[in-house]
Amino acid sequence: MDVSELENLRSPDDLRTLSPRRVRALAEDIREFLVDSVSRTGGHLGPNLGVVELTLAIHRVFSSPRDSIVFDTGHQAYVHKLLTGRQDFSTLRQRGGLSGYPSRAESDHDVVENSHASTALSWADGISRARLLAGDTDRYVVAVIGDGALTGGMAWEALNNLADSPDQRLVIVVNDNGWSYSPTVGGLARYLDAVRTDRNYERVLGWGKRTLQGAGAPGRLTYDALHGMKKGLKDVLRPQQGLFEELGLKSIGPVDGHDLDALDAALRSARGYAGPVIVHAVTQKGRGYVPAESDAVDRFHTVGKIHPETGLPVVPSRFGWTAVFGDEILTIARSRSDIVGITAAMPEPVGLAPMAREMPDRVIDVGIAEEHALTSAAGMAFAGMHPVVSLYATFLNRAFDQLLMDVALHRAGVTITLDRAGLTGTDGASHNGMWDVALLRLVPGLRLAAPRDEETLRTALREAVAVSDAPTVVRYPKGDLPEPLPAQGRMAGMDVLARAAGDGDARVLVVGIGPFATTAVDVVARLKDQGIGATAVDPRWVIPVPAGLVEAAADVDLVVTIEDGLVTSGFGAAVREALAEQGLTVPVRAHGIPHRFLAHASRGQLEEELGLRPQDIARDTAAAVARDQQGIDITSAPRPSTQP
């Protein structure tokens, strides 16, 4: 594969010395590189193929890192990484390799990690305002935001403020490809679609391009001249196409997001204007890679390892947690007409697509607007429906206030399903779904289930939607389903998964939450080998702490909890508090995720690093039992072990 132009590139400064012909050759090199590299590692392929020319143009017109480039969301920054000296993608999203998002630890060219959408405009506003206040008026901020991210309310809060700040050196590039994770929905999508599909659209682009080229040297065309050209088009453009300018923001476009000459001229014109300017660029997600261009479901938004020639996965996915949810919620909805699905721009990733295809009126995609999703769900519950709001666990953080004050305060019968709860690994710090249990413990009346396998997920979902007077949550991890783990019996309302008698008097209760139920069984087996009696249990519903767990804990010498959430204020901490409230002094050893952000790595690597493997927990438990028998306090939290 010939990547000579890319191999010769060392910094964005080199990019500005290339002729237009060489820049176009570089664009093709980059696409070949992305398909070849990402097919080996997995990652966000479609979004990056769509922003090749756009990113090239931004770096040719602006001078990073002196000018700050903020991506919303950061998964479209692979091309930016390549242009800023990071061309080793062999360990992309792997421990020690490049992050799948911008990272300040990697480069001074990166500003915001930003894998949560709709925040870039607020970042850009803050940066540009601070520079204005400091008298630093010759540096620019460029915010690249997709039409999908513009469905988020925070983006419009920022636009509202920017419209009142005429002196900021800020360029907003709207990367309009008609998609977020799925096709963009809502009024904004219809507005942008009207621009793209207007019968005069090609005339507008052609006229605009000729006018820009006629300006002569790049940058010679002023904003006012371009704005005058747009006024001259008023007879061929619909009135609603002035949306951004009606808000008080100057706008340029639409411009062809794959035409380097048009992009260069539009960005230079925006740069020459003293104030916030929007450049509307129309792009194609997956551009230049036939499998990605033709996939209607957009499975190329993010991929695992694939065959680059066909786009097919190297290892086909097994039946996973998300698919089970999708199958079960559709079954439930067929028998209950009050069940409504709500998704925040992700019907396919969270499993609501099958229900949407069969019952399109009963699945609502609100766009990237988790706050609205939760409060709208409260309203639907008031009106007699039972909404099921399906999110990635990491995105629930954005709607905590609405869950607390709109749903829980009003005792609304709303079910929330949290996909990708716990350790997600390769997507990095912001995507680990590790905050939900600690957060949701604060919500009065809320109940949360953590199923361990397919059967308990189906059961938990049915139990959750049966609750009509309080919020319920069902959390489950990313990836393939584990092997079924049937209960051997029941104890105090909990599933008993394993029992082992010991040689002495020590009695240990091992509580495994969700996918760590299997770990609890392994821990019990390892303790048995050391002569320690133990029982592994799964309460399945973990918030609030089941009374049966408190009852069972009263009869043991040590409780061990294992969870894939924050150990600080998590389930183990809740068990400790529940025992204390009953006057029980049984020590609790809580194992979970420490109170820090986690670097990207595989789930297995993170479990080893955090001491969450069965051998780590069994070793800590045996040591705690030995200290307890010696009369030494064992209530302090365990330290993660990384030894085999």
Q: pLDDT at position 639, please?
A: 53
Of the ranges 173-187, 276-290, 515-529, which one carries the lowest mean pLDDT score? 173-187
For 279-293, letters b (16+ CB in 10 Å) and e give bbbbbbbbbbbebbe
| 291 touches 310 (CB < 8 A) | yes
| 566 touches 437 (CB < 8 A) | yes
Q: Which pTM was predicted?
A: 0.84
CA 395/CA 435 separation, integer angstroms: 10
Tell whether residue 147 is among the known ligand binding residues: yes
Of the ranges 244-253, 309-318, 412-421, 500-509, which one carries the lowest mean pLDDT score? 309-318
Tell whether residue 337 is among the known ligand binding residues: no
- Mean pLDDT, rounded, for 474-480: 93
Q: pLDDT at position 595, please?
A: 92
- Mean pLDDT, rounded, for 170-196: 67
Q: What's the DSSP call for residue 404? A: I
> What pairing do the DSSP bridges indicate for beta strands 447-449 and 541-543?
antiparallel
Of the ranges 226-235, 420-429, 466-475, 540-549, which one carries the lowest mean pLDDT score? 226-235
Tokens 């584990």 identify what position?
A: 482
| 350 touches 330 (CB < 8 A) | no
Tell whether residue 386 is among the known ligand binding residues: no
Query: pLDDT digit string (tens) for 219-255?
Result: 444 444 444 444 444 333 333 346 667 777 888 888 9
Question: Does the structure show a pLDDT above 60 at 200?
Answer: no
Tell whether residue 370 is among the known ligand binding residues: yes
Q: pLDDT at position 317, please?
A: 63
Q: How confident is the model at residue 301 (pLDDT cuts 50, 70, 90)?
A: low
Tell whether residue 289 is among the known ligand binding residues: yes
Q: pLDDT at position 87, please?
A: 87
Q: How confident is the model at residue 299 (pLDDT cuts 50, 70, 90)?
A: low
Q: How confident is the model at residue 281 (pLDDT cuts 50, 70, 90)?
A: very high
Cβ contacts of residue 49 below 8 Å, gap of 6+? 31, 34, 35, 285, 286, 287, 288, 289, 292
* Cβ-based neighbour number of residue 621 at 10 Å: 26
| 286 touches 299 (CB < 8 A) | no
Q: pLDDT at position 115, please?
A: 74
Q: pLDDT at position 375, please?
A: 97
* Cβ-based neighbour number of residue 70 at 10 Å: 25
CA 311/CA 616 separation, integer angstroms: 39
Residue type, 606: L
Percentage of the chain exceeding pLDDT 90: 57
Tell whether residue 109 is among the known ligand binding residues: no
| 140 touches 124 (CB < 8 A) | no
Query: What stretch of H or E contains 339?
Result: strand 339-343
> How does the average pLDDT of the chain come out, rounded?
85
| 98 touches 92 (CB < 8 A) | yes
Handedness of CA 634, 527, 434, 45 (dihedral sign): positive
Residues recorded for the chain: 644
Q: In degrees to the nearest 10, what's the CA dihedral of 586, 587, 591, 592?
A: 80
Q: How confident is the model at residue 544 (pLDDT cuts 50, 70, 90)?
A: very high
Q: In degrees to the nearest 10, what's the CA dihedral of 74, 246, 184, 423?
A: 30
Tell whether residue 115 is among the known ligand binding residues: yes
Q: What's the DSSP call for residue 151? A: G
CA 234/CA 219 separation, integer angstroms: 24
Q: 476 or 42: whose pLDDT is higher?
A: 476
Of the ranges 72-81, 256-265, 289-298, which one carries the lowest mean pLDDT score? 289-298
CA 438/CA 435 separation, integer angstroms: 6
Instruction: Give me the sheet containing 68-72, strands edge to edge.
Output: 68-72, 141-146, 170-176, 277-282, 250-256
Question: Does the structure show a pLDDT above 50 at 323?
Answer: yes
CA 557/CA 43 separation, integer angstroms: 47
| 559 touches 507 (CB < 8 A) | no
Side-chain half-sphere CA neighbours of 269 within 13 A? 31
Q: In a 3-state reduction of DSSP, which class is residue 40?
A: helix
Cross-strand bridge partners of residue 279: 173, 252
CA 124/CA 114 separation, integer angstroms: 12
Tokens 């997507």 identify what position?
A: 427
Instruction: Give me the sheet containing 472-475, strands edge to edge.
Output: 363-365, 339-343, 386-392, 415-419, 472-475, 447-449, 541-543
**DSSP letter string over 346-390?**
-TTTTT-HHHHHH-GGGEEE--S-HHHHHHHHHHHHHTT-EEEEE
* Cβ-based neighbour number of residue 111 at 10 Å: 23
Domains and CATH numbers, the chain: 4-291 (3.40.50.970), 321-475 (3.40.50.970), 489-629 (3.40.50.920)
Q: pLDDT at position 240, please?
A: 34
Question: What are the structure tokens assigned to 261, written together?
Answer: 């000459």
Tokens 């050209």 identify what position?
A: 229
Question: What are the structure tokens assigned to 214, written together?
Answer: 């006629």
Please identify every residue annotated as catalytic: 285, 370, 398
- Mean pLDDT, rounded, for 33-44: 84
Query: What stretch of H or E contains 162?
Result: helix 153-162
H-type alpha helices, 214-271: 223-232, 243-246, 260-271
Question: Does the structure show a pLDDT above 90 at 44?
Answer: no
* Cβ-based neighbour number of residue 234 at 10 Å: 11
| 143 touches 171 (CB < 8 A) | yes
Q: pLDDT at position 217, please?
A: 43
Q: In a 3-state reduction of DSSP, which class is residue 421?
A: strand
What is the separation of C-alpha 533 from the centre of its chain, rounded to a whole number of angstroms?
42
Tokens 């990605």 identify what position?
A: 292
Helix axes 201-213, 187-197, angle to 10 degrees: 70
Tell whether residue 476 is among the known ligand binding residues: no
List Cα–Cα distances, 43 to 46, 178, 316, 643, in angstroms: 9, 20, 16, 30
Q: pLDDT at position 366, please?
A: 92
Tell whether residue 116 is among the known ligand binding residues: yes
List Cα–Cα distances, 482 to 455, 478, 525, 617, in angstroms: 11, 11, 19, 20
Tell whether residue 431 is among the known ligand binding residues: no
- Mean pLDDT, rounded, for 513-528: 96
